[in-house]
């Protein structure tokens, strides 16, 4: 047996786009014995004081590949998948290789990617400098880095 609920809202956008369609939920316990009708009323943002709500900027994010680290001494064995975040209002661009938490920042996408490449090279050199001194967490990063980067 299913229970039917009527939705009501004071938001004109919803009223204009939705006919008063009931929502049927299968297997919902009925309250026919109590004699009351269950009704759901949607709250809207207009029902609350939004004066203290602060908006935070949201970056545009996309993935891409890099195939070269920009240094002849180091070669990638496979493309690296990186994440680019472009922040609104000229707050800059961030390029990330999330697997090892490498980050490059810049005013443009190109600058952020170049700074990420430098950060990856620095990370490789630091991790391979004294491998025995690394803890388990950094050793896992070292395994990842050695799989995709070869120093020639």
Tell me phi and psi for residue 97, to 5 degrees.
-110, 90
What's the pLDDT tens digit per position in 14-37?
544 444 444 444 444 544 444 445
For the chain, domain boundaries: 2-47, 60-151
Confidence (pLDDT) at 56: 78
| Portion of the chain with pLDDT greater than 90, in percent | 57
User: Mean pLDDT across the stretch 70-98?
Assistant: 94
User: Mean pLDDT across the stretch 8-15?
Assistant: 54
pTM, entire model: 0.64
| CA-based torsion, 26, 29, 31, 37: positive or negative | negative
Kindly report which listed range (43-52, 97-106, 123-132) carries the lowest average pLDDT score: 43-52
More confident residue, 22 or 8: 8
What is d(CA 121, CA 131) in angstroms, rounded to the nearest whole number?
16
Confidence (pLDDT) at 89: 79
What is d(CA 139, CA 128) in angstroms, rounded to the nearest whole number?
10
Confidence (pLDDT) at 91: 82
pLDDT band at residue 90 using 50, 70 and 90 as cut-offs: confident
């Amino acid at each position: 047996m299913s229970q039917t609920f009527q939705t009501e809202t004071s938001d004109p956008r919803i009223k204009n786009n939705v006919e008063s369609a009931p929502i049927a939920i299968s297997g919902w316990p009925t309250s026919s014995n109590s004699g009351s009708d269950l009704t759901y009323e949607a709250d809207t943002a207009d029902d609350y004081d939004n004066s203290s709500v602060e908006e935070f900027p949201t970056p545009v994010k996309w993935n891409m590949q890099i195939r070269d680290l920009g240094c002849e001494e180091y070669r990638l064995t496979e493309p690296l998948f990186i994440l680019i975040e472009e922040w609104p209002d000229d707050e800059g661009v961030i390029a990330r290789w999330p697997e090892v938490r490498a980050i490059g920042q810049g005013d443009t996408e190109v600058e952020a990617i170049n700074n990420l490449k430098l950060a990856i090279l620095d990370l490789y050199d630091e991790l391979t400098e004294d491998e025995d001194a690394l803890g388990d967490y950094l050793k896992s990063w070292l395994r990842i880095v050695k799989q995709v980067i070869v120093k020639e």
